[in-house]
Amino acid sequence: PLPLDMFYVFLNHNINSLIRQVEKVRDQALVFVTESYNVAKIKFDEYKVKKPITKQRRTFQIPGYTIPIVNIETSPLTVEMFPFGYVIPKEINTPNFTILGSGFSVPSYNLVLPFLELPVLHVPKFLEISLPEFKALNIPRNIFIPALGNITYDFSFKSSIITLSVNAGLY
């Protein structure tokens, strides 16, 4: 039997302290996440550049080609970039593939990526999460582990020189 009295007494005496610690960590985590997000948003807005009308959009074009060994023909690939210094493409046109001789082809796709923007984060001032109350009802004094039966172990080793036999049991 495992004695549970001491565990219940310890839990009962320290539950209020545990709740205070959890609330303190919760508040610190909320402040940290809010401040980190606000700093990131300020830095993001600082580097955000309006799309200038005078600048031309940057478009990279890879010409079509044929892969000789597998006999696959591709169409030109086009990647449109934002006119300012971002590395993320705005639009990608994938090539279409044609396997010569078999008539099998994969069509071209146009992938348009959305512009990255951080929304404003609104956090209520009195955000509160409450923990449930713990009440110890009928406290069991012991936990009984049922017997599953007898456990026995037999091992024997025989050779021309020695014979070894081991028996063990838990009853």
Residue closest to 92 by CA, chosen among 107, 105, 77: 77
Classify the phi-psi angles of 103: left when phi > 0, otherwise alpha if psi is within -120 to 50, otherwise beta.
Answer: left
Per domain, the residue ranges of the chain are: 53-108
User: What are the distances in angstroms from CA 168 to CA 23, 97, 150, 164?
Assistant: 53, 71, 11, 14
Burial bucket for residue 34 (CB in 10 Å: 0-12, 13-18, 19+): middle
Note down pLDDT in tens along the chain; length 171 residues. Answer: 566 777 777 777 787 788 888 888 888 888 888 888 888 888 777 766 555 555 566 777 777 777 777 777 777 777 776 655 555 666 777 777 777 777 777 777 777 766 666 666 666 666 666 666 666 566 666 767 666 777 788 888 888 888 889 888 877
Question: Which amino acid appears at position 140 of this protein?
Answer: P
What does R_g of the chain's alpha carbons equal in angstroms? 35
The neighbour count for residue 58, using CB atoms within 10 Å, is 13
Q: What are phi and psi of 93, to 5 degrees?
A: -105, 115
Q: Is the dihedral of CA 11, 13, 14, 16 positive or negative?
A: positive
Edge-first strand listing for the sheet containing 77-81: 58-62, 77-81, 89-93, 110-112
**Which residues, at least 6 apart from 65, have a Cβ–Cβ distance to it below 8 Å?**
73, 74
Model pTM greater than 0.75?
A: no
Q: Is the dihedral of CA 118, 122, 127, 129 positive or negative?
A: negative
Give me the pLDDT at residue 13, please. 76
